[in-house]
Structure 1
Amino acid sequence: MATILIMEDDMAIHSLIKEALELNGFNTLSAYSGTEGKLLFEQAQIDLILLDLMLPGMNGEEFLQQIRHKTNIPVIVISAKNDQDTKLELLTSGADDYLTKPFDVKELLARIHIQLRHAIKTSDDNKKEIQYKNISIDLDTREVKLNDQIIHLTGREYAILLLFLENPQKVFSRANIYESVWDEPYFDSDKTINMHISNLRNKLNLRDTNYIKTIWGIGFKFD
């Protein structure tokens, strides 16, 4: 079963999450500060991180920035901050999902299952690598390379790129992408999709190549 790192300094919320996860068969690790969480991240095999933003020692934003240089494992931010700009900024900087406090435990568990499903969906595939021109993905390590140089993607960006590489030339609507990657019904999520596509384009930026084509009035395709 997956191991989840809980980074939350509120004892009551931390205990609630820990109990719910363990009752549902997950292994848990506990951190009550950003520095403690970073130490556990470096020492243990972790499959998903639940990250509060207002942490002592090292705040959640700084922690997220540091680990995104090393891993693509899913990170779900759980925060009392509920303004749209904060959510978009966190998703842009590497979070895979964002849940606002107070939250429903059942919703948290559902989001965890979705993220873990995305993270392991290629593990049963016989292929070990996908290669498309000068882009390669190692399906075991989730390592993405462009011209043999590692590029660091968020979990969502990785899932979108994998969707494109597995279906080159196919045109995807925004609803297609959202329902495939987020695994939930599409509802007025153009802004979210556009943000992730823009980030992915920037990370795949080459002087003479724009892999992700906009098909006006329809969506996107990888060419």
Structure 2
Amino acid sequence: MSLSVLVVEDDREIRAMLQAALRVEGFDVRSAVSVSEAAALVRHALPDVVLLDLGLPDGDGIELVRLVRQHHALPILVITARHQEAEKVRLLDAGADDYLTKPFGVPELLARIRVALRHRGTALAPGTTVHALDDLRIDLEARLVTVRGQPLHLTPTEFNLLARLVRSAGRVVTHRQLLTDVWGAEFTEHTHYLRLYMGQLRAKIEQDPAEPRHLLTETGVGYRLAAA
């Protein structure tokens, strides 16, 4: 069962970036744009981790930290643009486990999540970040894909789809799971998206897209990235 993350962020672009990055890693992601919405989601279905922005429309995120801490011990990571040491101390004293100062990279975010979960008694192994087979090499941290030593230009969606397959290299990922993790839960019936983007990826990666060696179809089920 996937670990769940609640992303509390009112900036649409940052929220979308976090959702996409976490879904590619296999997390079940929900989101909220205010303190009140986040509090309601916590009451309805307790997440495993909270990622929390501070400047929210109906209050400061520290209010949610204090509210959650009254009843729960789940990890809370604060995302903040505030650099003052006193502010960071205030967050930690209120019950936050850690904080990231904007801007930050996805690898650092994932490492901080792993540490916070480990401190709360949940081990989360680092995900696969490099996949290499024959003439294909994918480095997720560097966001670099090469074929026969030549770098490929991928769109953000193409890269996220390929990254999700890397995380499960050698195993089938269902159509529904790919659509949920790459596009979002509301797109689970849009299988034509998968056909379109998988076709684009094969055209860029495979020597013969009609006879793929890397991006394999499991008929009626999903797709699999070939592993050694």
Give the shorter-chain TM-score range. 0.5 to 0.7
Corresponding residue for 1:93?
94
SS at match of 1:103: coil
Question: Distance in 2 between the 1:33 and 1:54 partners?
Answer: 9
Tell which structure's C-alpha radius of gyration is larger. Answer: 2
Q: Give secondary structure in 2 for the equivalent of 1:111.
A: helix
- Report the Cα offset of residue 13 of structure 1: 0.5
What amino acid does structure 2 have at the position aligned with 1:11?
R
Structural RMSD (CA): 1.3
Counterpart CA distance in 2 for 1:96 and 1:36 is 21
What's the TM-score once normalised by structure 2's chain length? 0.52
Tell me by how many angstroms 1:21 deviates: 0.2
| Structure 2 residue matching 1:102: 3-state secondary structure | coil
Q: Within 5 Å, give how 1:52-131 maps onto structure 2.
A: 52-121=53-122
Q: Distance in 2 between matches of 1:92 and 1:51?
A: 16
Structure 1 69/86 Cα, relative in aligned 2: closer, same or farther at 3 Å? same
Cα distance change on mapping 1:39 and 1:70 into 2, 3 Å: same
Question: Partner of 1:45 in structure 2?
Answer: 46
CA shift at 1:83, angstroms? 1.1
- Hey, what's the Cα distance between the residues in 2 that align with 1:22 and 1:34? 23
Give SS of 2:99's match: strand
Counterpart of 1:6? Answer: 7
Distance change in 2, residues 1:105/1:94 (3 Å): same
Q: 1:84 to 1:25 in 2, by over 3 A?
A: same
List per-residue Cα deviations over 1:29-53 (Å, max 9, x = no partner).
Answer: 1101111000000001310100100
The aligned amino acid for 2:84 is: D
Q: 1:24 and 1:88, CA in 2 relative to 1: closer, same or farther beyond 3 A?
A: same
Hey, what does 1:16 align to over in structure 2? 17
Q: Unpaired runs of 5+ in structure 1? A: 123-223
Counterparts of 1:94 and 1:45 in 2: how far apart (Å)?
17
Distance 1:57 1:35 in 2: 7
Structure 2: gaps of 5 or more residues: 124-228
Other structure's SS at 1:35 match = helix
Please list, as runs of the form range in 1=range in 2, the aligned pairs for 1:143-158 lying within 5 A after superposition: none
Using the size of structure 1 for normalisation, the TM-score is 0.53
Percentage of pairs with the same residue: 43
Report the CA distance between 1:57 and its aligned residue: 1.8
What SS does the corresponding residue of 1:29 show, helix, strand or coil? strand
**SS of the counterpart of 2:39?**
helix
Cross-structure match for 2:34 = 33
Instruction: Name the CA distance, whole Å, in 2 between partners of 1:121 and 1:15.
Output: 26
Q: Distance in 1 between matches of 2:73 and 2:109?
A: 20
Corresponding residue pairs, total: 122
**How many Å apart are 1:116 and its aligned residue?**
1.5
Amino acid at match of 2:78: V
Q: Give CA-to-partner distance per residue, 1:54-85, whole Å, 9 cap, x none.
A: 01123201111111111111100001001111
Letter in 2 for 1:119: R
